[in-house]
Amino acid sequence: MKKTILFATLAAFGLQLAQAHRTWVLPSSTVLSGDKVWVTFDACASNNIFFVNHRPLQPNTLSAIGPDGKEVELNNVSKGAMRTTFDVELKQEGTYRVGVVRAGHMAFWREGEERKSWTGTKEEMIKQGIHKKPDVHLSVGGYSILSYVTLGKPSKEVLAPTGKGLEVTFKDSHPNDLIAKETTQLVFQLNGKPASDLEVTVVPEGDRFRNEVGEIKVKTNARGECSVTWPTAGRYWLEALVEGTAEPVEGVELEEHSSVSLTLEVFPE
C-alpha cells in the first residue's frame, strides 16, 4: 500500500516512472558530422515505444551535457499536451548525453491542497527536518531517461558512472556504435556497486504495430554484466529497474527506487 501511494505521488508531481509508462528521449539523429549541426529531441512518456500518445516529460528536468562535461543549452523548448520538444546545437566534437538524470533522497507531502516535493542528500533532509513533514513519503535512488548523440569521433567522458542510483555503461563498445547481429556487453551498477540479478528489458521500435511486444529480456550476473544481441537495425528502448526498501530515516520508512532507460540506434551490418 505504501509503495502504491508513493508511486502515485511521484506521478502527481510529473516525475514520469517506468512503472506507469515507458519514458524516452528520442533524438532525430544519433551520429552526425559537419559544422553547425543541430539535433531535435522528443521527450515523452507513452504506452508504445517512440509513439507519442500519453504525456510530455517536464522541461525543467531535461538537460544536455557536452563532451567536456559542461551543460549545453536547450533551444526552442516547447511543452505540448503529449510531448516536449527541444533542439541542441552540437558545437564540440564528441559524445553528448541528453535526457533526465535525477538521484538522491526525495520527499513528497501535502500542505493543505498544495503538493510539495524536495530532493537532496540524507544529511540535508535530516538537517531541514523534511522527514518530519506530516504524511511524508520518502524515496531514495533516482531515475535516468537518456539518449546519446555523437558529432564526429565518439568520446566516453559522458558515459562514466557517477556512483549514484542505477547506471549502465558499455563494456567494450559505445552507445552510438551498435551494429545489427552483433553482441553488446553492458554493465549495471547501483550506487557504484555491481547490480546483480537485475532484469534488463529491450524493446525494438514499432511495438504498436505488432501483435507481440517483442521484448528481449536478459539478467545481469554477479558482476552486474549482461549481453544483448541486436536482431535487426533500428531504434531500441532499454530499461532496468530496482525497487525495495532502504534503511529508515530516523524511523520514517524509506522506499528505494532506481531506474534507467536508454534510447539506442542500431545500424545495419
Q: What is the pLDDT of residues 90-102, one digit of tens each?
A: 999 999 999 999 8
Of 2-6, 80-84, 95-99, 235-239, the least confident: 2-6
Mean pLDDT of all residues in 56-77: 96
How many domains, in total, are found in the chain?
Answer: 1
Percentage above 90 pLDDT, the chain: 76
Percentage above 70 pLDDT, the chain: 93
Cα distance between residue 62 and residue 15, in whole Å: 12
First CA to last CA distance, the chain: 48
Q: Which of 143, 147, 146, 185 is nearest to 164 (CA)?
A: 143
- Sign of the Cα pseudo-torsion (83, 177, 88, 189, in order): positive
pLDDT band at 55 (very low <50, low <70, confident <90, very high): very high
pLDDT band at 168 (very low <50, low <70, confident <90, very high): very high
Say yes or no to pLDDT of 229 above 90: yes
Mean pLDDT of all residues in 122-127: 94
Say yes or no to pLDDT of 225 above 70: yes
Instruction: Please give the pLDDT value at position 20.
Output: 52
CATH number of the domain to which 116 belongs: 2.60.40.10
Summarised one tens digit per residue, pLDDT across range 2-20 is 444 444 444 444 443 444 5
Instruction: Please give the pLDDT value at position 14.
Output: 42
Say yes or no to pLDDT of 122 above 70: yes
Say yes or no to pLDDT of 245 above 90: no
> What is the residue-averaged pLDDT of the chain?
91
Higher pLDDT, 5 or 265: 265
Q: Which domain holds residue 234?
A: 2-267
Q: Which residues contact 261 (CB under 8 A, 6 or more apart)?
A: 18, 22, 23, 24, 144, 145, 146, 237, 238, 239
